Amino acid sequence: MYHNHSEERLKKTRGLASAVLVIAILQAIPAIVSLLGADSETGVVHRWVYWMLFLATVEFGFSMYLLLFPDWSSIWMVAMVSLLNAALLAIVVSVRVLGQEQNTIVNYLQLNIKVNSGMQQVLLLLTFILVSSILSFIAGRTAIRWKRSELEEHQAS
C-alpha cells in the first residue's frame, strides 16, 4: 500500500537509493576490470569476480526497491543488507589478512593470485566495508527516525 509521504521523506529516499546505486557501481568496477582483462588464452575468470558482481547486483536491486517502495521499512531493509554486505566483506578481509595463502576460503575465492598484491585487495575491501557500514548507519538512522515520526503522527491524530 502506497502512502502519501512528504516530499522531504521522498527526497531522502531518492538520495539513499542514489547512494546505494553508486556503491553498487563502485563495487562492480574491480570485477568488470578483471573481466575485461581476463587472460584471453585461458579465459580464466576468478571466483571473487562473480561474488563482487553478485553483491553489486543485489545492491543495484535494492536501490530500485527503494525507488519503487519509498517507506521506512524499505530503508530499514537496505540498512540490513548493507550491514550484511559489510560483514561478509569483513570476513573475507580477516581471512585474507590472518589466514595463510593456502586457506580454504582464500583458495575458493582465488584471492591468492599474484596479479594484485594482497595489500591492494585488503585496502579495496576495507574501503567497501567502510562505505557499506556508513550507508547502513545512515539508512538505519533514517528508517528509525521516519518510523518514530510516523508513530507520533498516528498517535496525534
* Rounded mean pLDDT, 18-37: 90
The single residue listed with the C-alpha cell 540498512 is 79
Number of Cβ within 10 Å of residue 156's Cβ equals 6
Q: What is the mean pLDDT of residues 30-55?
A: 78
pLDDT digits (tens, 9 = 90+) for 108-155: 777 665 545 667 778 888 999 999 999 999 999 999 999 999 888 888
Quote the CA–CA distance of 11 and 20 in Å, as a whole number.
Answer: 14
Q: What is the model's pLDDT at position 41?
A: 54
| Model pLDDT, residue 95 | 81
Rounded distance, CA 15 to CA 18, Å? 5
Per-residue confidence (pLDDT) for residue 115, from 0 to 100: 47
Which positions ≥6 away from 50 have C-beta within 8 Å?
31
- pLDDT tens for 83-118 read 999 999 898 888 877 776 677 777 777 766 554 566
Q: How many residues in total does the chain contain?
A: 157
Q: Are 84 and 24 in contact (CB under 8 A)?
A: no
How far, in Å, CA of 2 to CA of 125, rounded? 37
Question: Quick one: pLDDT at residue 112?
Answer: 62
Cell numbers of 75, please? 530503508
Q: What does each C-alpha distance from 135 to 96, 106, 121 come to in angstroms?
A: 24, 27, 21
Buried b (16+ CB within 10 A) or exposed e, 52-62: bbebbebbbeb
Higher pLDDT, 39 or 89: 89
Residue 46 has pLDDT above 60, yes or no: yes
Burial 97-122 (b: 16+ CB within 10 A, else e): eeeeeeeeebeebebbeeeeeeeebb
